[in-house]
Amino acid sequence: MRRFAWAVLIAALAASHARAQAPPAEPSERVCSDFRAEIDRAFAAAPESLQINNLLFEAARNGCFRSLDRLFKAGASRLARDREGDTALAIAARAGRKALVDILISGASAEERRQLDAPDG
């Protein structure tokens, strides 16, 4: 019986370690796939910076972090604020999107971090 218990414990630890090493998954592949299609449509129409930042806010709400790089290359700003005065970082944090929060913080410059850390008006 003890050997079986140890084997089960070792297997559980190995599975836990494998999950911890795997890249995080987006919360909903379907939602994020639909969102990527929305980005494609928007980019086909040559969006303005306001539209690109609105897509960033939507990515933050939905947790679609794989779209961030494309949005930033198109001109989205970590410092942009929505109608309520929230940044994408605040939206992602409020929605519990840890992977997205980590990416937004780690990719920010020192100046962006300073401004993101400042209290809102």
Contact (CB, 8 A) for 58 and 31: no
Q: How confident is the model at residue 4 (pLDDT cuts 50, 70, 90)?
A: very low
Cα–Cα distance list, 67 to 2, 30, 31, 85, 110 (Å): 48, 14, 12, 22, 23
61-104 residue pLDDT tens? 999 989 999 999 999 999 999 999 999 999 999 999 998 999 99
Residue 86 token pair: 């929230």
Q: Averaged over 5-19, what is the pLDDT?
A: 50
Q: Averaged over 15-37, what is the pLDDT?
A: 70
40-71 residue pLDDT tens? 999 999 999 999 999 999 999 999 989 999 99
Pick the CATH number of 28-117 from 1.10.540.10, 1.25.40.20, 1.10.3720.10, 1.10.10.10: 1.25.40.20
**CA separation for the pair 52, 74 (Å, rounded):** 7
Instruction: Give SS3 for 39.
Output: helix
Write down the domain spans for the chain: 28-117
